[in-house]
A and B are shown apart, each in its own frame.
Chain A
Amino acid sequence: MASAGEVASPRPATGARALGLLRRELADAVLGSDEALGEVTIRVVRERLVEVVELLRDHEDARYELPLCVTAVDWPDREPDAPRFDVVYQLRSLQHNDVVRLLVQVSDDDPVVPTLEGVFAGMDWHEREAFDLLGIRFDGHHDLRRILLPEDWDGHPLRKDYVSFGEPIAFTHNLDWALPAQERPRDLPGESR
């Protein structure tokens, strides 16, 4: 029986096709690349992103025409040595049956990447989602509003420094910590506090 696991498949790494093309055609737009688990991640210069994606979409050898998603990963501890956010793009090529991952790094004080709305109509909502949940701004987007959260929401929940929990639960042993002084009950029975 053929081995059926994802890992053991004999296919070349996903995205290797795109990396080869970019190294040939736009070598100066590529900052570097990693390969792990059979998936290639290509780090791209932010200012050249649109150019890179257009090449990957239109070139015969690539045809990454289907936008899968854009999102970001927040690494707050990395600053100031390295930029805080990894903005991750996933594109699929139906013709060559391949996926590519592009990665653009942006810092906390300038979390801006150029919009890909003009390249893929489908990126519109995904960019709005990344803005909504992570506060990445997409320069040139025609309508960069929140999409999932209410318009008046404060903050960007998927950032690591956004505290979404931690409302303390008041037990008898931690009332000092859990409740402000004026809300603590005055007549607790026994010696419990």
Chain B
Amino acid sequence: MSAVLPPPGPSGRDASEQYERGREMLGVDAGLDSVDLVQLDEQTMELNMGPQHPSTHGVLRLVLDLDGEVVKACHPDIGFLHTGFEKDFERHNYWQCIPYTDRMDYLAPLTNNLGFSLAVEKLLGVEVPPRGQYLRVIMCELTRIASHLIWYGTTALDLGATTPFVYAWREREKLLDINELVSGVRMHTSFIRVGGLLADVPDEFYGMVEEVVRTFPHFIDEYETLITGNPIFRERTRGLGAISAADAINYGVTGPSLRGCGVPYDLRKAQPYSSYDHFDFDIPIGERGDIYDRYLVRMREMRESLRIIDQAMAGLPSGPVNTADRQVALPPRNEINTSMESLIRHFKLVTEGFRVPKGMTYTAVESPRGELGFLVVSDGTNRPYRVKVRAPSFSNLSALPFMAKGELLPDLVAVIGSIDIVLGDVDR
């Protein structure tokens, strides 16, 4: 027994002698003893958390003022992933901007594609055919599920549950397989383009999506069995990180974090875009605005997304996926072989892109994290004059100090997980 324990320490007197000797050896000046420990209360400790910390979901740095284990104040430090996408947009034509949108919220790239495409289509006055709109909806809802799966796995992992993470990634693979099938890429698909889609979907798509719709309810049941009724998880999340609806709105919080406070606001319902008004689905809301409610909202949203996909697949119209406006969309490949005009148009579009009329628009979509808005200003050329991305994670994260105040340090990890930030989205 005694072998396991550390050897008995020196007495107080010995320790201070050792200390002095150590200082002499290091050549440390005695005056350093009087260094002021910043201007903090005697009780407060300043602790740095991140940016390399597994539970900050990326490169988020928090400077915490701790009183024991209680978080007295929390100062987020962001920008470690700032890449200047908004400046990049100004240097590229509208087509070339699409891949940049993928890389902002890298867990929901298709929703970002859609937001940017809708904004530019609005400036152009272009409408996408019904089949294109339905396929956009299907792909965005699949993305929403994939994004929520990552959130589910990592949040549970933060709280010490390892199994859900493995389960969530097992199913996410199936969704990434669909991405790969339609676009050739698993994550940064750039599948949704201005004027429509990259291409129509191949025949295998239908079977794969139907399998997702058929099997996923069972998988979500599994997740719920693992976590929802789990007394440990409930103890760790009930009543913690709570924010009232009024405060959430005041901070600009949107998405599941806002709906967890009981505000049934979802842009897919409130201001339907891309045919969302054709589908019957519910907006899950919570009551208390705590971590557990935000958890429940997201779990139910996955089921609602499956409902939307099911209806969209059942009612999927035939026809083209791209707009017929040749000023924007590429001509079909077989036409290029026979028509000189199409060949010229193809060449012009690929080399120059299209010109967008002067104007300014703010167009928003409901990303898995909340309201993703694109403020696009055009000066009439083939490049955007200015693009401002209203990123949901940015506003949601700004409410973190409010939510975390007074919580325990280990619970702070749960709060960060529950607002589901993506640092690519925060920093852009």
Contact = CB atoms under 8 A, between A and B. Distances in A.
Determine if chain A interacts with chain B: yes
B103 to A, nearest CB: 16
A65 interface: yes
A45 B386 CA distance: 23
A101 B394 contact: no
A68 interface: yes
Given A5-B127, A6-B121, A147-B79, A125 B87 contact: no
Contacts of B399: 121-122
Contacts of A165: 91
A7 B79 contact: no
Given A6-B122, A69-B373, A158-B86, A97 B271 contact: yes
Nearest to B363: A6
A148 B78 contact: yes
Contacts of A68: 252, 362, 364, 371, 373, 390, 395
Interface residues of B, number: 54
Contacts of A65: 249-250
B198 interface: no
A61 interface: no
A6 B273 contact: yes
Interface of B is mostly: mixed
Interface string A89-123: 01010100101010000000000000000001111
A7 B119 CA distance: 11
A29 interface: no
Given A94-B249, A164-B84, A125 B130 contact: no
Contacts of B363: 6
Nearest to A5: B127
Contacts of A122: 250-253, 395, 398-399
Contacts of A125: 394-395, 398
A66 interface: yes
Interface stretch (A17-25, A34-42, A175-183, A184-192): A34-42
A169 interface: no
Given A73-B377, A73-B385, A90-B362, A149 B79 contact: yes
B377 to A, nearest CB: 5
A148 B128 CA distance: 36
Given A73-B377, A122-B251, A124-B398, 18 more contacts: A1-B278, A4-B133, A37-B122, A37-B123, A41-B360, A67-B395, A69-B388, A97-B271, A121-B251, A122-B253, A122-B398, A122-B399, A125-B398, A129-B394, A146-B79, A148-B82, A158-B86, A158-B87
Interface of A: 1-8, 36-37, 39, 41, 65-69, 71, 73-74, 88, 90, 92, 94, 97, 99, 101, 120-126, 129, 133, 146-150, 157-158, 164-165
